[in-house]
Amino acid sequence: MDEILAQVFQVGFFAALIRIATPLVFGTIGELFAERAGVLNLGIEGTMMLSAMTGFSAAYFSGNLWLGLLAAVVTGILAGLLMALLTVSLGLSQHVSGIGTTLLCSGLSFFFYRLIFGQPSSIPNIKPFAVVAIPGLSAIPVIGPIVFEQFALVYMAMAIVPLSAWVLYQTPWGLNLRTVGENPHAAYSAGVSVMAMRYQALMIAGALMGLAGAFLSMAQFNAYTFGVISGRGWVCIALIVFGQWSPWKSAAGALLFAFIDALQLRLQASSIINVPYQVFLMMPFVFTIIGMALVSRNARAPAALLKPFRKEER
Amino acid sequence: MIALRLEPREHTPVWLNVTLPLLAVLATLVICSGLIKLAGASVMAAYGKLFLSALSTRFNLVETAVKATPLVFTGLAVTVAFRAKFWNIGAEGQLLAGAMAAAFIGARQGLAAWCLVPAMIACGAAAGALWAVIPAVLKTRYKVDDVVTTLLLNFVIFYGMMALLDGPWKDPLSGYPDSPDIRMAAEFPILLKATRLHLGVLIAAVATPLVWLLMSKTTLGFAINAVGESPRAASFAGMSISGVILLTAVISGALAGLAGASEVGGLHFQVMAGISPGYGYTGIVIAMLARLNPLGVIPAAIFFAIIITGAEAMSRATGVPVFLADVIQGTALVTMLIALLFNQYRVRLRRVSNG
């Protein structure tokens, strides 16, 4: 047991934990904006997949990672607009629209990746984002190498949590967004455009999901593969339930998930416990379900979640 | 000025049931023809290969029916679940559960030869049902969202299956992460000589009208529909919502489990990583195109079987990536969803005064 602990809990472990949490934080906060406005975006998995592909491809051909990032964000926004068209303008079932968006986006990502790169013998790769150590702060013992020697995108994810909490709870725009998600008719009576708020929420959500996808294919890994997302989008949706629709709690949930994921990766590599590695891959998903079961009874989703808004119907 | 206006319909004309899916498919093909152009191929040549290769010979026709079989099962599974608004996105995982149970039973030496096939079918259905009951119990007892749990459970069972195939269940003969072959006596009987038309195809063909009967002529079917349409009214009418959802999950999961059992017993004779290339997810598209009508599942399943089979031939002949099939599935789901608007509303052109 001591041997396991010694092997697992090193500085590298916690630095890896933060990297694993980063795409989850982007995805979760993105999804949070959509859900707080009353739209469940099940398109998240496909949006992340397509963004990972477009971001990688743009970076591959331009040689500029930031251009790749921009492509991923634009892709995410476009996927968000599709979701908005289906669920907000047309008022269609959010469940089926989301699954449709995911199937469509992942299909497009496979199609275009094959079209652009064909079937080369070795996987095309890029020089991914490099670690940026923050001068001064990274010299702090233990904390420094864990928190302040990370990718630029990791710092961005760290900033996005307080920023989203501030936007959602401290600004008039955030109040309007939450009202639209809780009681759209009240918001409408107060002169808030429900449509516009939901469109904006889904576009922000898409942009953040784009960052999540780009992080995976351009920072965490240096290539796009068909399994690059492998369920992380669905995990984000679970994390929001786990985090009771709060940005801070959801981000904490992302860290908890990342802890389990980093742990299973270490255990896989350490060969202390001799079981097929897939058992470890399974672990984070099992824990996510257990976590949801523990909190769901008291969970209170935004009241208007899943409900389309039509002015004339009350 | 002319304004478009959506008016609610009083009732849905029957011809829309057939027209809407056809319209959706047509729109899908028009949209996706843009992708074929992007790939530098001729639209006619690509679609020709995509649709006609599956229908060109008698052998290919039978192969299409074989390919459609798991899709019929998953399409029915999703249909039943969605009717109750039990959002079972887990047909994929339930299929794997059924496949594993069938492969396990089919390889048992201790069982009498005559009972192998029935036992595989029964256990496959039971395993699928069991895997679907987990999210149903989580939903009814702990209020855990069914969409998320069914999705996550797909990953749990896939990794669990791969762990078994990489560990204790690995085929000792081949050394690949595949399960050992089932016994000869466990292979489903072939219905048509020199083809792969197996018992599973027949079961799917029989299951479809049975599910239709269940949904439209029985009390349980009525309850499933009632819970889906208005849980409050259903509970006022004295139905147990939890009970109905659990039963829905059992039926839905069993149908998806049959897909797995039929793939193992009739086609692959073992379980391996690629046993389901997303049949569970395609089932969602099929159920929606069928407008959640069990009888509509068969034509929708055949349509996607044609596309999945034809995509390889199309890709070889024209160079259009085989993943066009995936894009078509996603697009069809979206266009069908939009087409359903015409079901509830009619579009009226109205002259309005400028104001």
**Per-residue pLDDT reduced to its tens digit, B194-217:** 889 999 999 999 999 999 999 999
Chains A, B: CB contacts within 8 A come to 142
Q: CATH fold of A2-120+134-298, please?
A: ABC transporter involved in vitamin B12 uptake, BtuC (1.10.3470)
User: What's the pLDDT at A8?
Assistant: 67
pLDDT above 50: residue A314: no
> Per the CB < 8 Å rule, is A96 touching B160?
no
d(CA B135, CA B81): 12
User: What's the pLDDT at A296?
Assistant: 83
CA distance B31 to chain A (A): 12
- What's the rounded mean pLDDT across residues A277-297? 90
> Per the CB < 8 Å rule, is B138 touching A289?
yes
Backbone CA torsion sign across A93, B71, A226, A121: negative
pLDDT above 90: residue A306: no
pLDDT above 80: residue B45: yes
Alpha helices in chain A (DSSP H): 2-8, 11-36, 44-62, 65-84, 94-117, 143-147, 152-170, 172-182, 184-189, 194-215, 232-242, 247-270, 277-295
- pLDDT bracket for residue A275 (50, 70, 90): confident
- What's the rounded mean pLDDT across residues B108-136? 96
pLDDT above 80: residue B77: yes
Query: What ipTM does this complex have?
Result: 0.92
Alpha-carbon distance values, A309 to A181, A196, B160, B343 (Å): 10, 12, 42, 19
d(CA B248, CA B135): 12
- From the list B148, B154, B91, the residue with the least C-alpha distance to A234 is B148
Residue of A nearest to B168 (CA): A276
Q: Is residue B215 within 8 Å of B76, Cβ to Cβ?
A: no
- Delimit the domains of chain A by residue range: 2-120+134-298
Please give the single-letter amino acid code of residue B115: C
CA distance B344 to chain A (A): 11
End-to-end CA distance of chain B: 10
> Per the CB < 8 Å rule, is A293 touching B138?
yes
pLDDT above 70: residue A4: no
pLDDT above 90: residue A277: no
For chain A, give the longest Cα–Cα distance: 66
Least confident of A189-193, B8-12, B299-303: B8-12
- What's the rounded mean pLDDT across residues A62-87? 97
pLDDT above 90: residue A249: yes
User: What's the pLDDT at B174?
Assistant: 82
pLDDT above 80: residue B80: yes
User: What's the pLDDT at A225?
Assistant: 94
- For tokens 């055949």, the residue is B302
Cβ contacts (< 8 Å) between A93 and chain B: which residues? 337
CA distance B112 to chain A (A): 33
Domain range for B148 is 2-351
Backbone CA torsion sign across A68, A69, A70, A73: positive
> Per the CB < 8 Å rule, is B166 touching A278?
yes
> Per the CB < 8 Å rule, is B159 touching A282?
yes
User: For chain B, what is the mean pLDDT?
Assistant: 92
User: What's the pLDDT at B30?
Assistant: 96
> Per the CB < 8 Å rule, is A276 touching B162?
yes
Q: Residue B38's domain is classified under what CATH number?
A: 1.10.3470
pLDDT above 60: residue B355: no
Q: Is residue A153 within 8 Å of A219, Cβ to Cβ?
A: yes
Q: CA-based angle A241:A244:A245, to the nearest 5? A: 90
pLDDT above 70: residue B91: yes
Q: Which of residues 199-228 of B touch A (CB under 8 A)?
A: none
d(CA B292, CA A205): 31
> Per the CB < 8 Å rule, is B138 touching A42?
no
Split into its structural domains, chain B has a count of: 1
Q: Which of residues 7-36 of B touch A (CB under 8 A)?
A: 35
Q: Is residue A50 within 8 Å of A77, Cβ to Cβ?
A: no
User: For chain A, what is the mean pLDDT?
Assistant: 92
- As given in the structure block, the two tokens for residue B3 are 């304004």
Torsion angle in degrees (nearest 10) through CA of B343, B345, B351, B355: -150
- As given in the structure block, the two tokens for residue B29 are 């093909």
Is B146 in a helix, a strand, or coil?
A: helix
Q: Which residue has the higher pLDDT, B5 or A168?
A: A168
Q: Which residues of A294-304 are buried (b: 16+ CB within 10 A; e: fewer)?
A: ebbeebebbeb
* DSSP, res A230: T
> Per the CB < 8 Å rule, is B148 touching A241?
yes
- From the list B216, B198, B199, B223, the residue with the least C-alpha distance to B295 is B216
pLDDT above 90: residue A11: no
- From the list A250, A260, A313, the residue with the least C-alpha distance to A35 is A250
Chain A contact present for B159, CB below 8 A = yes
pLDDT above 90: residue A248: yes
Cβ contacts (< 8 Å) between A50 and chain B: which residues? none
Length of chain B: 355
- For tokens 């949904």, the residue is B215
> Per the CB < 8 Å rule, is B329 touching A99?
no
User: What's the pLDDT at B235?
Assistant: 86
- From the list B266, B240, B248, the residue with the least C-alpha distance to B117 is B266
Please give the single-letter amino acid code of residue B291: R
Using CB atoms, pick whichever of A86, A235, A297 lies closest to residue B334. Answer: A86
